[in-house]
Structures are given as C-alpha cells and as structure tokens.
C-alpha cells in the first residue's frame, strides 16, 4: 500500500510519470497518488478537487490537494502567504488569485 503523508517532500515531474516510484531518491508524487483506472491527479489547477469516487461503503471524496511553495514566499511571484494548518483544520489558500497589486482577499470566490 502506498501512503501520502502531509508535509512530505515529493518530486512533481512534468510530464507525469506514475510508473516511477522515486526520482533522485525522493518520492514521485504521481506514483504515490496513482490509483489504477483513475485519472492522474494534478496540481496545476490551484485547488484540485477530484470527482467523488465509489467505494464498497458508498461514494466518497478521495482527496483535496493544496500545493504551496514556501521558497517563493514574499517574492514578486508570490507576495501572499498561503496558510495550510492541517492540525488546526484550517487552510487559507490563494491558488491562482495572485495578481500583483491586488489583494487576493477581494477576489470573488474566496
């Protein structure tokens, strides 16, 4: 059984390579989250919420993926700070609402 742990560093190669377990000794994201017969999960679309899946005990949501790069915090590319605090059950995630000079909190859909 493959396990994906919050906060675990993973490689995210492009194009997706779900058949390769590790890249340069680091777990391959596409391998770790791959489920046979299901679409490849991606992080390119900001908040990625896959469709509900059927399980033996009924339908359930398989995963919600949030990706944030702490190395870009405070840069011109990313002046906003995403807060992902799973132990508190909280995430403030700006996704693609990162237009320079515009407060992402004023964008519709937040």
Whether residue 109 lies inside any domain: the answer is no
Residue 23's DSSP bridge partners are 26
Whether residue 79 lies inside any domain: the answer is yes
Check whether residue 9 and residue 44 sit in a common domain.
yes
Check whether residue 54 and residue 94 sit in a common domain.
no
The domain of 56 spans 1-67
What is the three-class DSSP state of 28? strand
Check whether residue 77 and residue 53 sit in a common domain.
no
Check whether residue 54 and residue 90 sit in a common domain.
no
Task: Answer whether 52's CB lies under 8 Å from 63's CB.
Answer: no
Check whether residue 62 and residue 91 sit in a common domain.
no
Whether residue 110 lies inside any domain: the answer is no
Supply the pTM of this predicted model. 0.59
pLDDT tens track, the chain, 110 positions = 567 777 788 898 988 888 999 999 999 999 988 877 777 788 776 555 567 778 888 887 667 677 766 666 666 666 677 777 878 888 877 666 666 677 766 766 54
Check whether residue 9 and residue 63 sit in a common domain.
yes
């Amino acid at each position: 059984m493959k396990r994906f742990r919050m906060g675990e560093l993973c490689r995210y190669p492009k194009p997706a390579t779900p058949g390769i377990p590790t890249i340069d000794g680091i777990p391959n994201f596409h391998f770790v989250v791959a489920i046979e017969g299901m679409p490849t999960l991606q992080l390119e679309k900001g908040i990625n919420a896959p469709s509900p899946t059927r399980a033996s005990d009924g339908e359930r949501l398989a995963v919600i993926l949030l990706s944030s790069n702490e190395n870009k915090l405070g840069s011109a590319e990313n002046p906003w700070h995403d807060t992902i605090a799973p132990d508190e059950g909280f995430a403030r995630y700006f996704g693609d609402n990162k237009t320079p000079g515009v407060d992402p909190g004023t964008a519709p859909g937040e």
